Amino acid sequence: MINSREILESFEGRMREFIDGENFKKCIQCGICGGSCPFGFYTDFTPRKIITATRAEIVNEVIESNAPWLCTSCNLCTSRCPSKIPITDALIPVLRELAMNYSHPPDELGQALTNIHRMGNSFGESNKKRTKWSEGIGFPVKVLKKGEHVEYLFIVDDFGSFDLRGQEITKAIAKLFRILGIDFGILGEKEKSIGDHVRLAGEFGLFEEIAKSNINELKNYSFEKIITMDPHAFNSLKNEYPKFNFSKDVIHYTQLIDERLNDIKKILHPLNYTVTYHDPCYLGRKNGIYDAPRRIIESIPGIKFVEMYRNRENSFCCGGGGGGIWYDSYIKKYVKVRPAEERVLEASKTGANVLLVTCPIDAIMFEDAIKVTGLEGKLKVMDISELLLESIGKGV
């Protein structure tokens, strides 16, 4: 039997350790969080109700419910909360941490975390396979050695390294770098999970261990900036790793392409697509990068670009963040229409025949949702890098 007072005290103690963590006491019960949440209808406790539960001293009931796990860390509630409560970075992960100690996480989440701890990646694969995406690419991809220098260290992270769809996107991005003459290298088997999903899953101890170990490894290499394709890796490297004395510049690949747009425009050919663009939660809402991807899209001749109703800071979640992609079957038990399904239906209603993404998790989630919703043949998912390559032309 869980002691409700002990849980409440643990919860309050942990919240005090986060910047603005104690703001949960200032909740005005406006309900904006639950109204914004993709799972607001399905969760046993919305953030508003979680806070009510702290007042009623029944946090123990929250951690035994589906509430800690029916959150994909989309950050929409946090961005709208008038009391500035760090719901996504603190409230939910702290509940998850407690749930892991006193209850248990969905099985697949536990498995992914074990894989990261043991193997350095959530897929449980040998890290030697980190470079598999580069097979057949047609040029050598530099695996950085100690003492060698590159301008950009390309961090791929897990989904771009091990997922088959993710690998295609990584390949497309590397080809673009090559076309633009960008001096880049990868860490190959020395790369390990960056860990943003681990942090959001409430495994703060494991995240700290991962971050410190990665920072130590990075000290062995000479590079000017980190470039990544993964918005979660981008977020952690940019906003979380500096808490452990890490100070390298980090950019998302779309930012570099945007900087080099004048060079790219000269080699683009017209394409006949109507496209819409999904802002990934951790590129857009969390880190404010909305315009670079749109400038790239609009630079492609022949393309008709239409916005979805929910765009930019109001973008809707794909459902895969914060570990959601690992425990999709748990989410399916509680949710009638998954966020990715809702999103591809929204994309299709714009009249677009291509849904553009800039995150490998989005591509994986949306392609599955397209099959489930019967949109195959009507809507296809492309990463912006893939659309650019198609416009540049065959033979690259």
Footprint of ligand SF4 (CB under 6 A): 27-33, 36-39, 47-48, 51, 71-77, 81-83, 85, 87-88, 92
Q: Residue 154 pairs with which residues in a beta bridge?
A: 227
**Residue 77 or residue 173: which is nearer to ligand SF4 going by CB?**
77
Least Å from the CB of residue 40 to ligand SF4: 7
User: At a CB cut-off of 8 Å and minimum separation 6, what does 222 contact?
Assistant: 147, 148, 149, 150
CA distance 296 to 259: 10
**Residue 117 or residue 312: which is nearer to ligand SF4 going by CB?**
312
Least Å from the CB of residue 80 to ligand SF4: 6
**Residue 32 or residue 116: which is nearer to ligand SF4 going by CB?**
32
HSE at residue 385, side-chain half, CA atoms within 13 A, is 29
**Residue 77 or residue 292: which is nearer to ligand SF4 going by CB?**
77
Residue ranges in the chain assigned as alpha helix (H): 4-16, 32-36, 47-55, 59-63, 76-80, 92-102, 107-119, 157-162, 164-179, 196-200, 204-218, 231-235, 253-259, 261-265, 291-298, 328-334, 339-349, 360-372, 384-392
Least Å from the CB of residue 59 to ligand SF4: 15
Least Å from the CB of residue 300 to ligand SF4: 32
User: At a CB cut-off of 8 Å and minimum separation 6, what does 54 contact?
Assistant: 8, 11, 12, 24
What are the angstrom distances between the C-alpha of 20 and each of 72, 86, 98, 339, 358?
21, 7, 19, 29, 31
**Residue 322 or residue 360: which is nearer to ligand SF4 going by CB?**
322
Least Å from the CB of residue 197 to ligand SF4: 13
Least Å from the CB of residue 103 to ligand SF4: 18
In the DSSP assignment, the letter for residue 240 is: I
**Residue 21 or residue 188: which is nearer to ligand SF4 going by CB?**
21
